[in-house]
Structure 1
């Protein structure tokens, strides 16, 4: 027997995923909803991150909702502040702010099968009930801080890129950056400009290709605003290029290996033209196939290593001392690098604490995180899970489609529209994906991934966050964007039960 609830839907997360879900739910007539956000404002990663050099790594015309184009991007690859402003615009236009509550940390959520109700408990002791639960906590939302021996003894400043200190001055500092992922690629050239000395600690090099970036002229922006079809055309061209890179270079590696090798050659040529020293080039060259880790774009990262005051350190870190970092020396001894400012560009913990980001308990006491970790990470069409009625998980296994996160979001919005439309048609309020449909989708995704670079290529030395703790690459949906959107619009309605 269902009972009255505080809300029809609770959405956890006020980033672009959560806002997209709220927009779609409101389109489907679900108005009594709340969006719980642990940070003090909306925008997700574009609110949390504000380090120097922050920008999108997908062209702005594609990194945005297709139904809400922004003709005012200042550059092809917009700076992070513009993404934050865009998020605020979306929230205002679609009347989402009144649904948002900030500074709320969700501790757990549990399903009451008798009452058809989700109960969401927060760290401040509240218990909120709803008919539907949507998790939009993001893929990269749980920062990873390495537990190096002695790090607590470090006497200088420690700054994680997700907790950046605006205005921090590196002038005269002996700085160190640990990590060489996409964030570090943007940040390192900025620190190198002012620091007295910068040491970059690299565990795994990253594939970097040229960044074709430029200011978007004012007349073009005016054209985008006056004739929206022109911006849609630019989006289509950019999306097609990204699609070719993803589908042929990554997902169809077995069939299109030369295309993958061509991308690697482009990245190596870029490295060769930008770094003078041959030994440094060798250290910066990945030893795994292109696409095993998400590649990135930059015209300034490699050049930073030409500077006399920038060092690349590839030896293993032994420990941290109050005034520096000790690494393995070349002759079996130890070498100490003096540091007074330590920057942690160490990324995020996806598989241990982010899937899901808090405890979620479904029917029959099934703990979602435990079920995933003890078995296989899985989600039907990358959005629903058997034995979890009225539950939509946006950041889930096999959900990430294409290279732009907005492709994933809009595909999931289409799935929600079809699902809630069927609920209305049947006069029902409860849905749950069948175990059979989920298993069929999982088997199909596993089969398709067999052709990808993750399994047909050499990723053994990539240390990629695409792989979970079982060694499975269960993050990306192994299909083209068009195929994904088509399936989200047309999945068999009988793959769900309704009540």
Structure 2
């Protein structure tokens, strides 16, 4: 057992946020940092998620770092292995590997007010002391398992889509899929081609729009690789298209997307199935999904859409409230993540022994989604109310903000900074008021993963460019500090 390891900055997680933070720290001349990653490789959610058909729902030219925009994507929407390879490339290109500790799961982080450091412990018994702590865990790290009776009684094979079991082939199997959102939309068309029977259990229909995703030819890939200015132009074009849409404030744009979504449903041949797949909530209530293959899958005779509520999981399959039991060899839980439970996997303790879970008993909240009062020198990436558009763009804005504040601390000889509670409260009160003006989110029949404690805790209600603008403001008066 070694002693306490001291570093200027600690980063939890080697996903996109942790990688961006490492790159910017090095560029700022900060070399005394370490990245603690519980997995055996980089990528975060792109390391763990490996289900068939995995893709990003943001075009790759925008879902990439501005400082490393050129990559030979095989298609407009890169798949999981490509994105993972891209992130591995960034780590190598910017010399981050020596800073990363793989297989290091952080279990606790406690602020030491006397020493002015964060004391971090790991599952392996290591202890670290960091002057500043950057939490890059994001939203998609804690699996969400549905509370369905009988889950432990099932005698077949079951797994979560975010931890796909490739050692369990599905060819010729009767498969039940619970959930019909982002992951199911991608993997269901893939596995439908090999299973004997597929039952998709849908609680609520999502908006699924088509996408332009024709694979690039070798000539096109070579052309883009040789013409970076064209790549940058495409990136800007995508940004200009996406940025105004994510606020759902333009009635004409919302109406157009609604029409496109309804037109996409016309490919479903059975009118009753088409009706069940038609969302009952306004476009934008939930994060819109994109797929060209999802709806046609329901024209297959071996695929069944089930909308009756699940009563329980039985030893042999899944029984719905109408009494029908569907026999399954395998159950795939496509039930997403505990998106509102930020940092819930780690015991985080701030000043005066206050636990973060207690501070957020009424739902997570933070100033600019990054700092919360009573937890000095703690910066969160992809924290509360920062989810919208391309998270890569949002992460870069956050990392620039964090590095600027660390530089301020160094230049001013500060040991700690802590956001003023009243500033954080005023910011979040205004944000919730803005949230209420986003029509689809405030619709009475809108139910999604955004809410906790009666508030929307995941979403950013404005454009990406507005978020960047706010993070670029000199806000030193928003903090109390000491040396």
TM-score for both structures, normalised by structure 2: 0.95
CA displacement at 1:49 relative to structure 2: 0.9
2:284 partner SS: coil
Match for residue 358 of structure 1 among 334, 338, 346: 346
2:224/2:231 contact within 8 Å kept = yes
Determine the structure 1 residue equivalent to 2:257. 263
Determine the structure 2 residue equivalent to 1:491. 474
CA displacement at 1:83 relative to structure 2: 0.5
Determine the structure 2 residue equivalent to 1:118. 118
Pairs within 5 Å for 1:190-269: 190-247=190-247, 249=248, 252=249, 256-269=250-263
Match for residue 301 of structure 2 among 298, 308, 329: 308
Determine the structure 2 residue equivalent to 1:449. 435
- In 1: Cα distance, 2:203 partner to 2:472 partner: 42
Determine the structure 2 residue equivalent to 1:91. 91
Determine the structure 2 residue equivalent to 1:336. 325
1:286 partner SS: coil
Corresponding position: 1:466 with 2:454: no
CA displacement at 1:355 relative to structure 2: 4.1
Question: C-alpha offsets along residues 113-143 of structure 1, whole Å, 9 cap, x if unaligned?
Answer: 1110111111222321111111111211101
2:342/2:383 contact within 8 Å kept = no
1:11/1:34 contact within 8 Å kept = yes
- In 1: Cα distance, 2:342 partner to 2:473 partner: 29
1:141/1:354 contact within 8 Å kept = no
Corresponding position: 1:132 with 2:132: yes
Determine the structure 2 residue equivalent to 1:432. 418
Corresponding position: 1:379 with 2:366: yes
1:109/1:119 contact within 8 Å kept = yes
2:244/2:463 contact within 8 Å kept = no
- In 2: Cα distance, 1:42 partner to 1:459 partner: 39
- In 2: Cα distance, 1:495 partner to 1:81 partner: 41
CA displacement at 1:167 relative to structure 2: 5.8
Paired residues, number: 479
Match for residue 381 of structure 2 among 394, 405, 411: 394
* Unpaired segments ≥5 residues, structure 1: none
- In 1: Cα distance, 2:439 partner to 2:458 partner: 13
Root-mean-square deviation (Å) = 1.7
TM-score for both structures, normalised by structure 1: 0.92
2:381/2:399 contact within 8 Å kept = no
Question: C-alpha offsets along residues 333-361 of structure 1, whole Å, 9 cap, x if unaligned?
Answer: x111011111111111122x434431211
Determine the structure 1 residue equivalent to 2:462. 479
1:24/1:416 contact within 8 Å kept = no
Question: C-alpha offsets along residues 33-55 of structure 1, whole Å, 9 cap, x if unaligned?
Answer: 11111112111111101111111
The 3 A distance-change label for structure 1 pair 399 and 372 is same
1:5/1:117 contact within 8 Å kept = no
CA displacement at 1:459 relative to structure 2: 4.1
Determine the structure 1 residue equivalent to 2:319. 326
Greater displacement, 120-129 / 383-392 = 120-129
Corresponding position: 1:413 with 2:399: yes
- In 2: Cα distance, 1:29 partner to 1:430 partner: 20
* Unpaired segments ≥5 residues, structure 2: none
1:224/1:231 contact within 8 Å kept = yes
Determine the structure 1 residue equivalent to 2:292. 299
- In 2: Cα distance, 1:229 partner to 1:364 partner: 53
1:223/1:230 contact within 8 Å kept = no
The 3 A distance-change label for structure 1 pair 220 and 172 is closer
Corresponding position: 1:74 with 2:57: no
- In 2: Cα distance, 1:357 partner to 1:412 partner: 22
